[in-house]
Amino acid sequence: MVKVSPESQALGTVSGSSSHHSEALLMDLTALEQCLVTRSSTRAVLIGRGNWDIKSTAPAGRPGAVFSSYIDRLQVLLMVEVYKYSEKQVLARKVGEFIVECQERALAADGNSTFTVAISGGSLVNVLRASLVDDDELSAKVKWSKWQIYFCDERLVPLDDPQSNYGAFKTAVLDPLSHHGDHLNLGPTVYAINEALVQQGSHQNEKIAEEYASLLPAAGFDLLLLGCGPDGHTCSLFPGDAHRYLLEETSKTVAWCRDSPKPPSDRITFTLPVIARSRNIAFVAEGSSKQQIMHKIFDDRNVSLPTALINASYGEKVRWYVDDDAFARVADSSVLANR
């Protein structure tokens, strides 16, 4: 019998009665479904492909490899929630409301009274400005002085470079926040990369990643705010064999992404262990350019895509905020939480 280990953060981690990886294992669906429901009080969806005799051929010691070796026979989607909106302003408002909810839960539970958040770059920073700065009702609820903000990935460029995620966040949120009424001088603590090391050249890239990893909160993040690229990447975790080493990383929490398919070529990125330890994960995807990738993530459930792998592995704490344009090609409406 194969069972999902309740202690495991990764949904695809399995344990069986035999230690021999090539032995055929019989799936007890009732036990599996019960295990999934035990982990979460809400729905678990099992999607089967082929028969239920599963051969484990995954090499030992590769994160997600066991799950990936089964994916042509079995897919498990646990409680991923998708919230779809027709208007961008409404979407931004709903993202902001969720962020404030996470803030309040974290501050109520954390004796140190901090809210740890990590954000991606791209268009996400504009959503954050619209919801947390420009929306007067929501902005009044944001306790910026309690926030500790990190970046899920960062381009290894100076902080004032147009490609810097920190620079984009500073322009969209921090600069207007510093002139925003009662929030003057009550801004968040923001953790950026060591710009001095960036200036020294690429031979310091590993050290930049190691140093940033040393800054991460020991207890994990209260919230990750992620984007989704048209190729299915998030953070700087890219699909494809050339960047598989990032998805297979188990010991490092921050890794150097070499030869990024998007410029600039050198970046650092959170790895899956950081995502696994985070208590809430929210993706934001907008626009017609995301239609094809949304179809691959939610209809095909193609876990070779980092975003789909995160859905499959940590679905009980994942939610998506999308607009109508981005989700127009998705046929499976069962994932919508606000139908």
**Of residues 21 and 65, which shows the higher confidence score?**
65
Please check whether residue 257 is in contact with residue 153, taking contact to mean a CB–CB distance below 8 angstroms: yes
End-to-end distance of the chain based on CA atoms, in angstroms? 37
pLDDT in tens, 263-301: 999 999 999 999 999 999 999 999 999 999 999 999 999
Task: Report the predicted TM-score, pTM, of the whole model to 2 decimal places.
Answer: 0.79
Look up the CATH number of domain 81-335.
3.40.50.1360
Neighbouring-strand partners of residue 97: none
pLDDT value of position 142 = 96
Encoded tokens for 183: 């929030």
Mean pLDDT of 146-159: 98
pLDDT band (50, 70, 90) for residue 20: very low
**In terms of Cα–Cα distance, which of 325, 326, 261 is closest to 293?**
326
d(CA 120, CA 233) in angstroms, rounded, equals 11
Torsion on CA atoms 295, 298, 299, 305, rounded to nearest 10: 70
Q: Domain extents for the chain?
A: 2-78, 81-335
> pLDDT per residue over 191-242, tens digit each?
999 999 999 999 999 999 999 999 999 999 999 999 999 999 999 999 999 9
